[in-house]
């Protein structure tokens, strides 16, 4: 489909069309950036497009709500979808093409392969979302393989996901350079997320405790409080604000994601917790 008054952005729906378009740009000497998303786009996603355009001449986004990365009882069915609105936002951000395959194109009958990175997916979010990162690695491998872009941009908001994708791309000799993009936050500090749309006004107000608890834990650790005490205080703060289950509140090595009991270079504070029915994640550098 070419851009029209109805749709401001070219949309392709098959891997062959995607690769054809990317190859044509590359043959003309242009570098191409790929920005994979699940849609319901916000300013955080658009920052990835901007970052892509810093490093390439052309940005291509993908939107695919990947069933393989949702567990039973998760929000696959109700995940927000707005392709027309997303296409307009992408066009406004300078994106040149949208790849939006359907599930049958991505996973046709007989599909039998999956990509599993060992180790990293067992930690943090992987402990409560078994199989999630296998779904992520599989779909990202397919997207990278289909596009063969020069660079692909992923958000640091999903720190563990970025670490896993970097590992996979290095291990599988994927020629696309993987680039991270800093977290885009609302004016009050809450990380933007498509899932913030699920929050009631009260939950949205309480959710702010997540970045605040991370910042407080960083301050406490840097001023000498033992890491375990700072993390426990962070969890308590989330509970006090109304979060239900706290999946983790950890200090970890930014690359290996192994838990740290003492501050170290490259350490990251990461948390995941549920408010109402919505699971939120966030992280900051120590």
Hey, which residues are catalytic here?
45
Binding mask 227-266 for ligand AMP (x = CB under 6 A): ----------------------------------------
69 lines the binding site for ligand AMP (CB under 6 A)? no
Please state the length of the chain: 286
Is the Cβ of residue 98 or residue 184 nearer to ligand AMP in the bound state? 184
Within 162-244, strands assigned E span: 177-181
Contact 82, 89 (CB under 8 A): no
Q: In angstroms, give the least distance from the CB of 236 to ligand AMP.
A: 26
- What are the angstrom distances between the C-alpha of 149 and each of 146, 167, 229? 9, 18, 45
Residue 36 or 227: the one with the smaller Cβ distance to ligand AMP is 36
Specify whether the CB–CB gap between 178 and 166 falls below 8 A. yes
Using the rule CB under 6 A, is 158 a contact of ligand AMP?
yes
d(Cα 130, Cα 138) in Å, to the nearest integer? 14
Q: Verify binding: residue 47, ligand AMP, rule CB under 6 A.
A: yes
Give the CA angle between residues 169, 33, 19 to the nearest 5°: 80
Question: Considering the complex, what minimum distance in angstroms separates the CB of residue 157 from ligand AMP?
Answer: 4
Min dist. Cβ of residue 181 to ligand AMP (A): 5
Q: What's the closest the beta carbon of residue 154 comes to ligand AMP, in angstroms?
A: 4
- Find the binder of ligand AMP among 132, 157, 167, 268 (CB under 6 A): 157
Query: Distance between CA 286 and CA 214 in Å, rounded?
Result: 9
């Amino acid at each position: 489909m070419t851009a029209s008054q109805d749709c401001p952005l070219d949309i392709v729906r098959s891997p062959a069309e995607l690769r054809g378009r990317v190859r044509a740009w590359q043959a003309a000497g242009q570098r191409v950036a790929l920005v994979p998303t699940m849609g319901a786009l916000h300013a955080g996603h658009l920052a990835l497009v901007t970052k892509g355009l810093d490093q390439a001449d052309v940005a291509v986004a993908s939107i695919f709500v990947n069933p393989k990365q949702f567990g039973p009882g998760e929000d696959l069915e109700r995940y927000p979808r707005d392709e027309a609105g997303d296409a307009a936002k992408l066009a406004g951000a300078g994106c040149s093409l949208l790849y939006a395959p359907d599930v049958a194109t991505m996973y046709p009958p007989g599909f039998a392969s999956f990509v599993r990175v060992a180790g990293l997916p067992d930690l943090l979010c992987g402990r409560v979302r078994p199989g999630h990162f296998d779904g992520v690695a599989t779909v990202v491998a397919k997207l990278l393989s289909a596009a063969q872009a020069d660079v692909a941009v992923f958000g640091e908001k999903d720190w563990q996901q970025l670490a896993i994708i970097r590992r996979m791309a290095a291990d599988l000799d994927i020629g696309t350079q993987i680039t991270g993009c800093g977290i885009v936050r609302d004016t009050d500090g809450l990380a933007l997320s498509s899932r913030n749309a699920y929050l009631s006004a009260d939950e949205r107000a309480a959710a702010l405790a997540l970045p605040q608890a991370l910042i407080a834990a960083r301050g406490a650790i840097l001023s000498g409080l033992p890491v375990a005490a700072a993390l426990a205080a962070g969890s308590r703060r989330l509970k006090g604000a109304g979060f239900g289950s706290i999946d983790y509140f950890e200090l970890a090595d930014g690359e290996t994601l192994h838990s740290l009991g003492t501050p170290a270079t490259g350490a990251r504070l990461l948390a995941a917790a549920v408010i109402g029915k919505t699971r939120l994640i966030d992280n900051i550098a120590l």
